[in-house]
């Protein structure tokens, strides 16, 4: 099948800023009849975000890459995942959500390689930022937080209903300082930065319907802030935005074949995985579907956690619940389906995983045991 070049957006932002919530809103408002694909990357090892995105629609395909920044190791994990997702979904648009601790410059470097310029039309890189975090040096002194702003083609002021209008002005000023301090050797890219005013769009879940048209319009803006990319075809140099056709069924880059992901449970039906990097620690558990959790107990336990980030999809006696918490703010949603129960904690200091696991088991009953 000959498929036209695929408009592609990178949607980035630091941990807990609301990237997944924004993507869910975008999927609800995508043009009728279009197929959209989403590649989700997580710092943690067990993978939660794909379960929090509603993919019940036939026109939405989601794939997840867990275990750190997918651009590492020469971008192989990301390239494999993108190739499989495109071959399976043949999407009209591709959204890529790197982990909040990922390296967006490296992600964009992979996506603008010559072989992808025949397939992907890079559109706006959209960065979400909570303007309240500008008063917290844990964010403003973090390299990745600032790098996400440096690569942005448009900025979304996430959770804007929770802070004063003056915070938007502070965000504008901070964004200008960060981008001015960013050393860019490419003179053409520097010229683009000087002549391209970034749009800052306030957005929140409560006001999503009011601002969704403005956010959707951002998706069609060009990607132009990092460096101008050109695709070399033979001896002819063409702008990356030039429409091309590619046969993804016969290109060696693409294969729908995907090895089955089998969770290796221990004899108790539990998998625990840990990760560490960029000043954060991740602790993740997967429980096989025989475990049923008491909703009130698991809710109370999650609320008690003193960690930077917690995400979970849990099978409870009241149904399947999705939990999403950051900086003491917790949202809970009802989900339609789950193959198992999963929970992931991100902390800026080490915690005792044995204590966490014991508390989780105390809230669970293993059916049939």
CATH of the domain at 320: 3.30.1220.10
Report the range of poorest mean pLDDT among 51-65, 142-156, 350-364: 51-65
pLDDT digits (tens, 9 = 90+) for 258-283: 455 567 899 999 999 888 877 788 89
Let me know whether 204 and 319 are in one domain: no
CA distance 25 to 212: 8
pTM: 0.71
Q: What is the pLDDT of residues 173-215, one digit of tens each?
A: 999 889 887 754 444 344 444 545 678 999 998 888 888 999 9
Judgement on whether residues 323 and 216 belong to the same structural domain of the protein: no
Residue 65 pairs with which residues in a beta bridge?
Answer: 41
Q: Above pLDDT 70, what percent of the chain?
A: 77
Specify whether the CB–CB gap between 82 and 65 falls below 8 A. Answer: no
Report pLDDT digits (tens) over 113-172. Answer: 887 888 899 999 999 999 999 999 988 998 889 999 999 999 999 999 988 888 999 999
CA 286 – CA 263 distance, rounded (Å) = 8
Element (H, E) at 179: helix 166-181
CATH of the domain at 90: 3.40.50.300
Report which secondary-structure segment, H or E, holds 221: none
Q: Are 27 and 158 in contact (CB under 8 A)?
A: no
Residues sharing a CB contact under 8 Å with residue 24, sequence separation 6 or more, in sequence order = 52, 53, 54
Residues 84 and 138 in one domain: yes
pLDDT at residue 10, rounded to an integer: 94
* The pLDDT value given to residue 50: 52
Cβ atoms 24, 111 nearer than 8 A: no
Residue whose entry in the numeric block shows the structure tokens 């014991």: 358
Domain that holds residue 311: 270-366
Q: 109 lies in a domain?
A: yes
- DSSP notation for 300-340: HHHHH--SSEEEEEEEETTEEEEEEEETTEEEEEEES--SS
- Pairing relationship of beta strands 280-287 and 291-293 according to DSSP bridges: unpaired
Domains: count for the chain: 2
């Amino acid at each position: 099948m000959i498929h036209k070049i695929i408009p592609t957006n990178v949607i980035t932002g630091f941990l807990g800023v609301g990237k997944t919530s924004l993507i869910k809103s975008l999927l609800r408002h995508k043009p009728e009849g279009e197929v959209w694909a989403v590649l989700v990357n997580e710092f943690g090892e067990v993978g939660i975000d794909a379960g929090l995105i509603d993919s019940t629609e036939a026109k939405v395909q989601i794939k997840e890459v867990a275990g750190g920044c997918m651009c590492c190791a020469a971008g192989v994990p990301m390239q494999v995942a993108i190739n499989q997702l495109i071959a399976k979904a043949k999407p009209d648009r591709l959204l890529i959500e790197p982990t909040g601790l990922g390296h967006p410059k490296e992600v964009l470097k992979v996506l603008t390689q010559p072989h992808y310029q025949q397939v992907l039309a890079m559109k706006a890189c959209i960065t979400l930022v909570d303007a309240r975090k500008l008063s917290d040096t844990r964010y403003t002194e973090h390299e990745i937080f600032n790098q996400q702003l440096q690569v942005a083609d448009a900025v979304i002021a996430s959770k804007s209903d929770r802070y004063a209008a003056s915070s938007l002005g502070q965000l504008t000023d901070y964004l200008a300082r960060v981008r001015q301090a960013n050393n860019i050797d490419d003179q053409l890219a520097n010229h683009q930065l000087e002549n391209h005013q970034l749009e800052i769009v306030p957005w929140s879940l409560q006001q999503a319907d009011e601002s969704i048209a403005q956010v959707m319009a951002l998706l069609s803006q060009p990607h132009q802030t990092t460096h101008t990319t050109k695709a070399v075809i033979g001896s002819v140099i063409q702008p990356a935005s030039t429409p091309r056709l590619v046969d993804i069924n016969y290109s060696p880059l693409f294969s729908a074949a995907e090895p089955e992901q089998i969770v290796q449970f221990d004899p108790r039906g539990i998998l625990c995985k840990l990760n560490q990097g960029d000043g954060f620690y991740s602790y993740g558990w997967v429980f096989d579907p025989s475990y049923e959790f008491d909703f009130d107990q698991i809710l109370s336990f999650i609320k008690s956690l003193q960690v930077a980030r917690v995400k979970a999809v849990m099978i409870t006696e009241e149904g399947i619940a999705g939990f999403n918490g950051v900086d003491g703010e917790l949202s809970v949603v009802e989900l339609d389906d789950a193959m198992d129960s999963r929970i992931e904690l991100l902390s800026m200091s080490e915690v005792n995983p044995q204590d966490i696991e014991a508390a989780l088991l105390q809230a669970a009953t293993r059916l049939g045991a």
